[in-house]
Amino acid sequence: MNTQAPRLALNLLDGRSASAQPVLLQITEHSAQILRRPSGDLLLEIPIKDMRKQMRWPEATARGARIIELTDKAPPEWEGAQLHWPSDLDPKTFDDWVAQHVPSRVNPSAGLVVRAQQSWRGVAAAFVLLVGVLWGMYLYGLPVAARGITALVPQAADQAIGRNALQQIDGRFTKPSKLPLEDQIRIRERFLAGVKAQYPKDTPPIQLEFRKSDIGPNAFALPGGIMVMTDELVQLVKDDEVVLGVLGHELGHITRRHGMRQLVQVGVLQGVLSVAFGDYGSLITAAPLILGSMAYSRAHEREADDDSITYMRAANISPLVMVKFFQAARSYKPPKKDKDGNELPPSAEPPAEKADQPKEVKKTPLGFSIISSHPLDEERMDKFRKAAGG
């Protein structure tokens, strides 16, 4: 026996005796040995190569007991036995001894993860890394996953969600259209003719609805091919081709299933489970709330703008009409209303408001409408100008 080998005084609880037995843990070049104290009789010897399997070492935490456990890979009579460092002694002494004498390949405290956990710099770096990874997954991983998941969703799900969302919106945010029926028919026929020209073989089914709405001039697309155009937008631009350009943009959202992809992204856990197992009933119920609180990403908007240009070219419409649309949207002013909410003639003055009464701001029920949530209008207008060759 190598008497020069390092030793550590511990207490053995072997599971058979009620009292702890004083022992020594000795690490030699070839093995770990448990010796009776003070006689030095050998109780157990574990080869270095088996230490990792037979001995479970404690991490060097700031607090906590230091206990070495014998695993189920140890000799049967030693399975479950524990070597305790006396609680009245400084655990750092134990940690320093282990770090100095126990081979790093079997010492958990020698690992990079444990060392990082014990350093505020390591914890801070790990936190920053975690935030970066999560942000990257949100920006890039989630959209990619949503695209793949959406491809598995049957079109019946889009249609059910779209119908339910429209029912929820009607009566709460929109009213029956007051646009003359001949205007509705003309716009609908011209738009669907353009859709047919853009998609001559696989024409997507489109349901174009007109509504009068408190949200003002707007248009939005719902899953399942439902598009809603407000009377106010038609009246604002006073140009069928501008209206058709806006509808071409919403058509892009429909054909690329942006609405469903956003639903998957916003309610990713619920969405993934529903898609994977074919039960999307709860998602249909929650869809109006989710749709009402979200906005399309800039990437989706760029894709829809590209599709709008393709649509307008197929329908022989200049992309410049979208520049006209954005300019008209900027100049829009909500109509004046009396205290009962009725619109006043343009020349009439609205009722006086108390100084301490805040003005009510109407919020769009759908974050992905054509006006309310689309950033970088100048960039988008430049795209349409270039598409028109200007």
Based on the fold, state whether residues 157 and 291 are members of the same structural domain. Answer: yes
- Sort strands 55-56 and 42-47 into parallel, antiparallel or unpaired: unpaired
Q: For residue 248, is it within any domain?
A: yes
Judgement on whether residues 274 and 165 belong to the same structural domain of the protein = yes
Domain assignment of residue 132, yes or no:
no
Is the domain of 21 the same as that of 98?
Answer: yes
pLDDT, one tens digit per residue, over 36-67 is 999 989 999 999 888 888 988 887 776 788 99
Choosing from 59, 90, 117, the residue where a domain stops is 117
Number of domains in the chain: 2
Contact (CB, 8 A) for 66 and 58: yes
pLDDT of residue 273: 47
Whether 57 maps to a domain, the answer reads yes
pLDDT at 298: 79
Q: Say whether both 87 and 177 belong to one domain.
A: no
Q: Is residue 141 part of a domain?
A: no
Cα dist. 330→126, 239, 334, 347 in Å? 46, 16, 11, 21
Distance between CA atoms of residues 40 and 23, nearest Å: 8
Whether residue 259 is found in the same domain as residue 162: yes
The helix/strand/coil state of 83 is strand
From CA 215, how far away is CA 219, in angstroms rounded?
10
Domain that holds residue 47: 7-117
Distance between CA 196 and CA 203 in Å, rounded? 6
DSSP code per residue over 210-253: EEEETT-S-EEEETTTEEEEEHHHHHHH--HHHHHHHHHHHHHH
Residue 148 lies in a domain: no
Which of 95, 117, 139 is where one domain is finished?
117
Q: For residue 87, what pLDDT is reported?
A: 85
Cα Rg of the chain (Å, integer)? 35
Spacing of C-alpha 177 from chain mean position: 36
- Do 163 and 59 fall within a single domain? no
For residues 91 and 231, membership in a common domain is answered with: no
CA terminus-to-terminus distance, the chain? 92
Reference 194, options 312, 64, 30, 294; nearest CA is 312
Check whether residue 367 and residue 260 sit in a common domain: yes
Residue 126 maps to a domain? no
Q: Are 175 and 268 members of one domain?
A: yes
SS3 assignment, position 185? helix
Instruction: For residue range 222-244, list pLDDT tens digits in order.
Output: 999 999 999 999 999 999 999 99
Residues 157 and 215 in one domain: yes
Do 323 and 384 contact (CB within 8 A), yes or no?
A: yes
Residue ranges in the chain whose pLDDT is less than 70: 1-4, 62, 107-119, 138, 267-296, 335, 337-375, 390
> How far from the centroid of its chain's Cα atoms is residue 286's Cα?
17
Interior/surface letters 44-74, b for 16+ CB within 10 angstroms, e for the rest:
bebebeebbebbbbbebeeeeebebebeeeb
Q: What strands lie across the sheet with 174-176, from one edge to the other? A: 174-176, 207-213, 226-230, 219-222
Considering only the C-alpha atoms of the chain, give the largest distance between any 2 of them, rounded to a whole number of Å: 109
Residues 106, 173 within the same domain:
no
Whether residue 113 is found in the same domain as residue 258: no
122 domain-assigned: no
- Give the predicted TM-score (pTM) of the model: 0.60
The residues with which 46 forms a beta bridge, in sequence order, are 32
DSSP, collapsed to helix, strand or coil, labels residue 332 as coil
Is residue 168 included in any domain, yes or no?
Answer: yes
Q: E-assigned strands of the chain?
A: 7-13, 21-27, 31-36, 42-47, 55-56, 67-70, 82-84, 174-176, 207-213, 219-222, 226-230
**Cα distance between residue 210 and residue 213, in whole Å:** 10
The CATH number of the domain where 75 resides is what?
Answer: 2.30.29.30
pLDDT of residue 274: 55
